[in-house]
Structure 1
Amino acid sequence: MKRLLIVAHAPSPNTRRLREAAERGARHPDIEAIEVVVMPPLEAGPDDVRACDAILLGTPENLGYMSGALKDFFDRSYYAVLDDTRGLPCALFIRAGHDGTGTRRAVEGIVTGLGWKWAQAPLTLHGEWQDAFEAQVEELGMAMAAGLEAGVL
């Protein structure tokens, strides 16, 4: 069975809703052969990354950058997984109060250095909260899991 790892920082009720939406999508009843593991960034580490077949990252925009928790995850994992995870399919959702550009650029730089491959372009949910954000993240989680199950990721 293939494993999808969801590493999402969710410090607020709305970001928790997004993390839950990603998990809900990944666990869609039509997707059967995927193990979904959801972890906060401060608990996830190199062994979790090496054990997965794809990774979905989630972060709020904090001062124009990714959350400190997601940065900590990368700091602890980067060199430990650098040679083992090249080509790992990944995706990202950003809950941005502004435009999310700095956050996106920062994560893209790290992903490029790791040699991971984007399953799709990062999803930036910017501006005032919209309930539609949940559906978008749920669809992203479902697409990641379905693509992994179908062998296209």
Structure 2
Amino acid sequence: MTKRLLIIAHTPSPNTTAMAEAVLAGARHEDIDGVTADLRSPFDVGPDEVMAADGIILLTTENLGYMAGAMKDFFDRTYYPVLEEKQGLPCALIIRAGHDGTGTRRALDTILTGLRWKQVREPVTCRGDWDEAFLDTCRETGMALAAGLDAGVF
């Protein structure tokens, strides 16, 4: 049975778009057969898409020390409709932070704890000025989550 990895990414800039595309490329690695990966804007995801997912990667910018409003909107619309059914959902976080990202991570950790989703990787915070190495980190995150789903690890 094919598993579904949902990548929800707020991409307001060319750099964050490149990060999201790197996550997707990693998730679609040629050695991963049993997983389909779908990249969507937070505005284009509702409870039905979350219910159909076997894993989720969240990519958000840090905005005023918090997650992007687009990501907050996603959680506002989906939190309660998926709360009971999707406990234990494997997930990973990627934060693009111009500063330190701690407020964004704290907010996301709180929401994910409430949902009882399982962070299967240490959250990634891409801090400071743009660095091409961010793309490798994003690719690795996508590949790791897809490979784990494919292997039945989570």
After superposition, the C-alpha distances for 1:21-58 in whole angstroms (9 at most, x for unaligned) are 00000000010110111110001011000000000000
Structure 2 SS opposite 1:121: coil
Q: List aligned pairs for 1:44-59, cutoff 5 A.
A: 44-59=45-60
Aligned twin of 1:94: 95
Structure 2 SS opposite 1:91: strand
Q: Distance in 1 between matches of 2:26 and 2:45?
A: 20
Q: Output the aligned Cα RMSD.
A: 0.4
| Amino acid across the alignment from 1:52 | A
After superposition, the C-alpha distances for 1:76-129 in whole angstroms (9 at most, x for unaligned) are 000000001000000000000000000000001000000000111110000111
Aligned twin of 2:153: 152
Q: How many residues align?
A: 153
Q: Distance in 1 between matches of 2:56 and 2:30?
A: 20
Q: Distance in 1 between matches of 2:103 and 2:73?
A: 17
Q: Distance in 2 between matches of 1:13 and 1:37?
A: 19
Q: Distance in 2 between matches of 1:42 and 1:24?
A: 21
Aligned twin of 2:70: 69
Q: Would you say 1:107 and 2:108 are equivalent positions? A: yes
Q: Would you say 1:43 and 2:44 are equivalent positions? A: yes
Structure 2 SS opposite 1:30: coil
TM-score, normalised with respect to structure 1:
0.99
Q: Distance in 2 between matches of 1:121 and 1:111?
A: 13
The alpha carbon displacement at 1:20 in A equals 0.3
After superposition, the C-alpha distances for 1:63-87 in whole angstroms (9 at most, x for unaligned) are 0000000000000000000001000
TM-score, normalised with respect to structure 2:
0.98
Ranges of 4+ aligned residues in structure 1 off by more than 4 Å: none
Q: Distance in 2 between matches of 1:92 and 1:31?
A: 21
Structure 2 SS opposite 1:48: helix
| Amino acid across the alignment from 1:76 | R
Query: Structure 1 vs Structure 2: percent identity of aligned residues?
Result: 59
Aligned twin of 2:144: 143
Point out where structure 2 has 5 or more consecutive residues left out of the alignment: none
